[in-house]
C-alpha cells in the first residue's frame, strides 16, 4: 500500500460508514486484525467529544466507551500526554485499568500485539491511530518496527481524509460525547 498522496489529492470521506469500510478493507489487505482512529476534540482545554472509527466489534466499542473512555485509558493517555508510540505488550498487567481493558478486549478478538501512536491534530485536538495484529512474543520485536514504518504514513493519510467529516460536525455512531 502506497500512502504518500499529497494532502490536496487525498479524497475525503463522505461518511463514517465509508471511513470504517476503508479501514476494514485496509486491515484485510495489510493482514492486520484491527485498525483504529481516534479524534479527540477539545473545547476550552477540556475534552468535548471523540470520534472513533475502527474495525473492532461494535459490542467491544460500546463496552469500552461505557466502562473506560479514552480519557481513562492509560495507553491512550500516555500517547496524548507524551506524544510517544506505545507498544501494547508493555501495558498489559501494568495497572488495574489496563488489566480491565485487556479482559474485555481479548474476548473480542483483540490481541496484545499492537501499537498506538499520535498524529498531529488541529489546535489542541488529539489524534491517535492504532494497529493490532496476530504475532508471537518471538516475532513481535521486529514486527512492531515494520508496523510503525508501514502504518504511520497510512495513518497520516487517513487523518487527512477524515478532515471533512470532522469539520462538518456530522454525527453518527462513531461520535461520542465526553
Query: Which pLDDT does position 154 carry in this prediction?
Result: 95
pTM of the model: 0.85
Instruction: Delimit the domains of the chain by residue range.
Output: 7-177
Burial of 82 (0-12, 13-18, 19+ CB in 10 A): exposed
The 8-class DSSP code of residue 121 comes to P
- Report the side by side order of strands in the sheet with 175-177: 86-87, 114-120, 126-132, 34-43, 46-54, 175-177
User: Could you give the CA distance from residue 143 to residue 135 in angstroms, rounded to a whole number?
Assistant: 8
Closest residue by Cα to residue 155 from 31, 76, 54, 80: 54
Query: Which pLDDT does position 7 carry in this prediction?
Result: 45
Query: Which pLDDT does position 133 carry in this prediction?
Result: 97
CA-based end-to-end distance of the chain: 35
Q: State in words which class domain 7-177 has.
A: alpha beta
Q: What is the pLDDT along the chain (178 residues), one digit of tens a residue?
A: 444 443 456 789 999 999 999 999 999 999 999 999 999 887 887 777 888 999 999 999 988 888 886 667 777 777 777 678 889 898 766 677 778 888 889 999 999 999 999 888 777 788 999 999 999 999 999 999 999 999 999 999 999 999 888 888 766 556 555 4
Query: Which pLDDT does position 145 carry in this prediction?
Result: 94
Amino acid at each position: 500500500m502506497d500512502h504518500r498522496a499529497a494532502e490536496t489529492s487525498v479524497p475525503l470521506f463522505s461518511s463514517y460508514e465509508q471511513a470504517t469500510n476503508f479501514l476494514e478493507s485496509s486491515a484485510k489487505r495489510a493482514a492486520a486484525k484491527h485498525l483504529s482512529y481516534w479524534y479527540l476534540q477539545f473545547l476550552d482545554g477540556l475534552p468535548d467529544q471523540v470520534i472513533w472509527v475502527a474495525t473492532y466489534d461494535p459490542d467491544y466499542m460500546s463496552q469500552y466507551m461505557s466502562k473506560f473512555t479514552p480519557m481513562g485509558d492509560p495507553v491512550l493517555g500516555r500517547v496524548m500526554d507524551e506524544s510517544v508510540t506505545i507498544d501494547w505488550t508493555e501495558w498489559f498487567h501494568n495497572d488495574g485499568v489496563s488489566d480491565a481493558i485487556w479482559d474485555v478486549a481479548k474476548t473480542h478478538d483483540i490481541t496484545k500485539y499492537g501499537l498506538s501512536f499520535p498524529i498531529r491534530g488541529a489546535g489542541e485536538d488529539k489524534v491517535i491511530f492504532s494497529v493490532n495484529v496476530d504475532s508471537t512474543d518471538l516475532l513481535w520485536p521486529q514486527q512492531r518496527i515494520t508496523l510503525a514504518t508501514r502504518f504511520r504514513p497510512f495513518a497520516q493519510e487517513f487523518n487527512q481524509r477524515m478532515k471533512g467529516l470532522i469539520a462538518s460536525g456530522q454525527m453518527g455512531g462513531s461520535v461520542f460525547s465526553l
